[in-house]
C-alpha cells in the first residue's frame, strides 16, 4: 500500500502526466532517469525512510512489534539487492517540464 500512496504514488509516468495535464499544464515533457541507491544495510534504508516527513508520523504510531515486522519485510524484499558491501537497488525518477 505504501508504494501507491505518499511520496511513492507518482511512480508511473503515464499517471503523472495525466495529473499534470488535469491541473491545467500544457507542453508536458516527461523524462525518466534510473539511478542506483546505496545504503550500508536494509536497516539504514528503513531508518532513513521512516524518518522522512511523510512516513515519520505513521511509523511513530505503531508499536515496536510492527516496526520490527516492517524491517523484516523490507529486509526480505531487498535480499536480492544486498551484499557484503551493503544495499544497492535501482530507482526511477521522472523529470517533468510543463507550462501553465
Set of cell numbers at residue 68: 520490527
What is the pTM for the complete model shown?
A: 0.62
Which pLDDT score, from 0 to 100, does residue 67 have? 87
Which pLDDT score, from 0 to 100, does residue 1 have? 44
Report in angstroms the alpha-carbon separations of 68 from 28, 55, 80: 42, 15, 20
- 15 vs 85: which has the higher pLDDT: 85
Residue 2 pLDDT > 70 = no
- How big is the chain by its Cα radius of gyration, in Å? 17
Set of cell numbers at residue 26: 500544457
Lowest mean pLDDT segment, chosen from 32-41, 53-62, 66-75: 53-62
Q: What pLDDT digit, counting tens, does each position of 38-64 carry?
A: 999 988 998 888 888 878 888 888 899
Amino acid at each position: 500500500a505504501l508504494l501507491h500512496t505518499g511520496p511513492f504514488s507518482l511512480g508511473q509516468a503515464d499517471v503523472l502526466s495525466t495529473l499534470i495535464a488535469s491541473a491545467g499544464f500544457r507542453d508536458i515533457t516527461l523524462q525518466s532517469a534510473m539511478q542506483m541507491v546505496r545504503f550500508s544495510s536494509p536497516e539504514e534504508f528503513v531508518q532513513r525512510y521512516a524518518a522522512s516527513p511523510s512516513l515519520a508520523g505513521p511509523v511513530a504510531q505503531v508499536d515496536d512489534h510492527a516496526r520490527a515486522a516492517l524491517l523484516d519485510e523490507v529486509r526480505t524484499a531487498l535480499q536480492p539487492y544486498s551484499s557484503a558491501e551493503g544495499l544497492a537497488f535501482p530507482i526511477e525518477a521522472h523529470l517533468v517540464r510543463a507550462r501553465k
